[in-house]
A and B are shown apart, each in its own frame.
Chain A
Amino acid sequence: EPEVTQTPSHQVTQMGQEVILRCVPISNHLYFYWYRQILGQKVEFLVSFYNNEISEKSEIFDDQFSVERPDGSNFTLKIRSTKLEDSAMYFCASRVSEGGRYNEQFFGPGTRLTVL
């Protein structure tokens, strides 16, 4: 069964460093998402991406964050200058189309980011 994959599973970085989190969505999906979950807290929406552009972003997704679909398979989240509070689990998700019963999002296993 096709699934969303994410790499790395765990990333440790120093404060101020740039990190790139990678996701490979399910191949026929058109809509892509990044979420984060700080330890012990709820999952929070960061950004949605469709047709090679951001369709919606939350207030968390500030100028330090960017997303890109550099080729036909990868979807990346870049954090330019990491802060301690960026430490969280980052989940990528994808779905095939918009609306109704076809709105099921499939989540990847997550990347745990630790900022020291």
Chain B
Amino acid sequence: GENVEQHPSTLSVQEGDSAVIKCTYSDSASNYFPWYKQELGKRPQLIIDIRSNVGEKKDQRIAVTLNKTAKHFSLHITETQPEDSAVYFCAASKGTGTASKLTFGTGTRLQVTL
């Protein structure tokens, strides 16, 4: 089955700096890659996603890049703010037929310091 690895497990940046989180996946058939943000004690919330037919997607301070050949994708957060502090999860899905389940990475705890 699919396996998703995520690095780093923890990341501390100063406010205003950029943060990058990287994930690799094993199944070349995966074609959908969402990123979820989970604040302490809260539910995971989708912040951005990318489909395999594009290489990059941006939404304000957040961007995601996808390299299908290397089977890795990354989350980039620019101009970080204290409210960006949370655990971020990457995920992958084949998204065909009944295979809509998400396989998640183990998460990255991002801390933005003042």
Q: Does chain A bind chain B?
A: no
Interface of A toward B, CB cutoff 8 Å: none
Interface of B toward A, CB cutoff 8 Å: none
